[in-house]
Amino acid sequence: MPSSRHPRSPRQASLFPLDDLIDASEPRTAAEPSPRAGEDMSSAAARLLRIREIVAEPAAAVSPRGRQILARFPQARVTEVDSHWRIPHLHGNEGNVERWVRVKTETLILGVRRTLATRPNGRSADWIAPGASNGCAMACAYCYVPRRKGYANPVTVFTDIDRILAHLERHVAGQGRKPAPNQCDPTAWVYDIGENGDCSVDALISDNTADLIRAFRSWPTAKASFATKFVNRDLLRLDPRGRTRVRFSVMPQEDARLLDVRTSPVPERIAAAADFVEAGYEVHFNLSPVVLRPGWEAAWAELLRQLDDVLPAAVKAQAAAEVILLTHNRALHEINLGWHPRAEELLWRPEIQEAKRSQNGDDNVRYRTGLKGAAVGRLRELIAAHAPWLTVRYAF
């Protein structure tokens, strides 16, 4: 790393506040990151991430992965921070609401994981792996990820990927063979590697996602899994050999246009499935979040018919789905009113929602019990009618 970009460089000390780094002439609207007609993948990535500021823990900045990332964004100014959990101008700063998307576009954080723990799950995956990142460059209005770090929550990349891989290798070895099939997978232990971010976007920043995919292809009893809303065709070159499951999240495009800010359009996610299966991935679909609104049944029926029309037999033969009805959160609702109030017209429906205190004490809301069960049942009927090849792994 050139000395002028070392995080302890005195030249860096005056870089804050972040306002100083922002070019006021640039538009403040959310850029659509997916390739436009005639645009290649790297151009789409460039619109999603235009990193101008890297905030790094010293140990992360000097690590091999950290150096690789700093070299990838040579234009970015680097500033030292003691902890990726405590960056006052990013976390817990409501003033950032107005610049939510801009911070996600222009700021990257490098950190080192404090703890390594694999947690049991049983729904999306058997296990939740310690993530190689948290935060996201996209900005879905319902996303729970910002609740942990607060507000804009740009991507934090953990540079100690070797420790994460070594931890996972020990955990996989410790499980032995899966004793019996379950809804996660008939034979493999499934590890969710992207609980708090989007691995497809992370792959634009570093080789962490690639390293995880390569590791899992050599572990015959395990399988990596991650949900994504971004089509990163660079992943097609990684030869996962069936040991990574990509879960493309889909919802009716009219909902996604309002809620899935900065993601790849839903038709593009669906169209990519065949290429990912051909490249050696397992491809499942997350039908989530299901947002109840006038016309939701017709919209989901249309989406399921689209899946049926577009997907080739090779995708249908191996596909399965998770169905997850929307859970929202009072604090997030109030934040969203500051930057995206139209989304809240869909997400915040007190007349059909009830409070649900989460395990970590958050004030969440979900659809009322009877209504929610009926909606899950109706969605299962729609799947049976329009995409009968699509196995529902679980729905709630």
Residues that bind ligand SF4 (CB under 6 A): 136, 138-140, 143, 145, 197-198, 229, 263
SS3 content of the chain, % helix, strand, coil (to 5): 40, 20, 40
Q: Which residues, in sequence order, are CB contacts of 146 under 8 Å at separation 6+? A: 135, 152, 153, 332, 335
**Least distance to ligand SF4 from the beta carbon of 198, Å?**
4
Any idea what the Cα angle at residue 59 is, between residues 56 and 60, rounded to 5°?
50
The total of other beta-carbon atoms located within 10 Å of residue 222's CB is 25
- Closest approach, Cβ 174 to ligand SF4, in A, equals 29
Say how far apart CA 394 and CA 183 lie, in whole Å: 7
Whole-angstrom CA distances from 296 to 120, 290, 302, 331 are: 33, 8, 10, 25
Q: What gap in Å lies between CA 1 and CA 150, rounded to an integer? A: 31
Query: What letter represents residue 361's amino acid?
Result: G
- According to DSSP, the residues that pair with 228 across neighbouring strands are 248
Please state the closest distance from residue 139 (CB atom) to ligand SF4, in A: 6
Measured from the CB atom, the residue of 132 and 140 that comes closer to ligand SF4 is 140
Query: Minimum distance between the CB of residue 129 and ligand SF4, rounded to whole angstroms?
Result: 16
Our CB check for ligand SF4 shows the closer of 256 and 390 to be 256
Compute the distance between CA of residue 299 and CA of residue 255 in angstroms, rounded to an integer. 9
Residue closer to ligand SF4, measured from CB, 78 or 139: 139
Q: How far is the CB of 271 from ligand SF4 (least distance, A)?
A: 18
- When the beta carbons of 139 and 307 are compared against ligand SF4, the nearer one is 139
Cβ 197 to ligand SF4 shortest distance, Å? 5
- Quick one: tokens of 1? 């790393």
Token pair 């998307």: residue:
101
The first and second tokens of residue 299, run together, are 């919209």
**Smallest separation, CB 133 to ligand SF4 (Å):** 10
End-to-end CA gap in the chain: 48
Choose between 35 and 197: whose C-beta lies nearer to ligand SF4. Answer: 197
Spatial contact of 251 and 307, defined as CB atoms under 8 Å apart: no
User: What minimum distance in Å lies between the beta carbon of 390 and ligand SF4?
Assistant: 21
Nearer to ligand SF4, 139 or 395 (CB): 139
